[in-house]
Amino acid sequence: DVKVTQSSRYLVKRTGEKVFLECVQDMDHENMFWYRQDPGLGLRLIYFSYDVKMKEKGDIPEGYSVSREKKERFSLILESASTNQTSMYLCASSSLQGAYDFGPGTRLTVT
Amino acid sequence: DQQVKQNSPSLSVQEGRISILNCDYTNSMFDYFLWYKKYPAEGPTFLISISSIKDKNEDGRFTVFLNKSAKHLSLHIVPSQPGDSAVYFCAASGYSGTYKYIFGTGTRLKVLA
């Protein structure tokens, strides 16, 4: 019953490292999203994609980039990790108007 | 500017009683609303939705009510169970080229046995 998977559940990186977070969905969804969850701030949208090779900035894109070369895969890249990017990262996918299916999340710690 | 607000960060309820979680929004163009439940160290799971053409939707113990004039929705859980203890997020969306949901900050529900 695999739906949305994320490459790592827990990740520890050093400041300045380039970090790749991978997300794969098997539902043939058009839309894919990256959110981060922080206490008291809820879920904030970083980037989303509504088609292969298409991407749009969300509310907090600074310090991040994304890549969607195939429909099923959406990658989040932290170009130079900083301690304020320590967070829970959640990938989601959806059909055109559908509810999101979320992955299990990646708890990233930047030291 | 927070377009979707959950003003109660936490809520405690006795097992078997009703839990009511509230959500307010500011954008009158929102026409589809979702509730998610999230356990620690897991991704959110979809609970229930409602579109703006309805004012109520039920699914088992979960009912969502929508008051468009007040820009307010609420999730009722009856009866509450200890396994319902989690963080609940509401989310709202309106069409703007694609459907993109804006989430509230969440309410932590604790159901006491």
Query: Which of B32, B41, B89 lies closest to A42 in CB terms?
Result: B89
Give me the residues of chain A with pLDDT under 70, please: 1-2, 97
Q: Is B51 on the interface with A (CB under 8 A)?
A: no
Which among B24, B34, B42 is the top mutation candidate for probing chain A, defined by the most A β-carbons within 10 Å of its own β-carbon?
Answer: B42
Between CA A108 and CA B37 the distance in angstroms is 21
**pLDDT attached to residue B92:** 93
Q: What is the CATH number of the domain that holds B21?
A: 2.60.40.10
Among B43, B38, B44, B48, which residue's Cα sits nearest to residue B73?
A: B48
Which among A21, A27, A30, A37 is the top mutation candidate for probing chain B, defined by the most B β-carbons within 10 Å of its own β-carbon?
Answer: A37
Both tokens of B33, joined, read: 């609303």
Q: Do B101 and A42 touch (CB under 8 A)?
A: no
Which ranges constitute the DSSP H helices of B6-108?
Answer: none
Interface of A with B (CB under 8 A): 4, 9, 31, 33, 35, 40-45, 48, 50, 58, 90, 92, 94, 96-105, 107
Among B61, B99, B97, B96, which residue's Cα sits nearest to residue B80?
A: B61
Domains detected in chain A: 4-8+26-99 (2.60.40.10)
Residue-number span of the structural domain to which B57 is assigned: 4-112
Residues of A in contact with B36 (CB under 8 A): 100, 102
Structural domain tally of chain B?
1
The 3 state secondary structure assigned to chain A is CCCEEECCCEEEECCCCCEEEEEEECCCCCEEEEEEEECCCEEEEEEEECCCCCCEECCCCCCEEEEEEECCEEEEEECCCCHHHCEEEEEEEECCCCCCEECCCEEEEEC
**pLDDT attached to residue A18:** 97
**pLDDT attached to residue A53:** 86
Q: Do B98 and A48 touch (CB under 8 A)?
A: yes
Q: Do A102 and B45 touch (CB under 8 A)?
A: yes
Phi, psi of A95, deg, nearest 5: -80, -175
Residues of A in contact with B95 (CB under 8 A): 97
Instruction: Give how far the C-alpha of residue B50 lies from the chain's centroid of Cα atoms, to the nearest Å.
Output: 10
Residues of B in contact with A58 (CB under 8 A): 100
**pLDDT attached to residue A98:** 77
For chain B, 113 residues long, the average pLDDT of each consecutive 10-residue run is 89 97 94 94 92 94 97 97 96 77 94 94
Per the prediction, chain A carries an average pLDDT of: 93
**pLDDT attached to residue A21:** 97
**pLDDT attached to residue B98:** 66
Both tokens of B104, joined, read: 């509230």
Distances in whole angstroms, Cα of residue B67 to Cα of each of A20, A38, B5, B24, B28: 42, 29, 15, 10, 12
Q: Residues with Cβ < 8 Å from B63, sequence gap 6 or more?
A: B48, B56, B57, B75, B76, B78
**pLDDT attached to residue A87:** 96
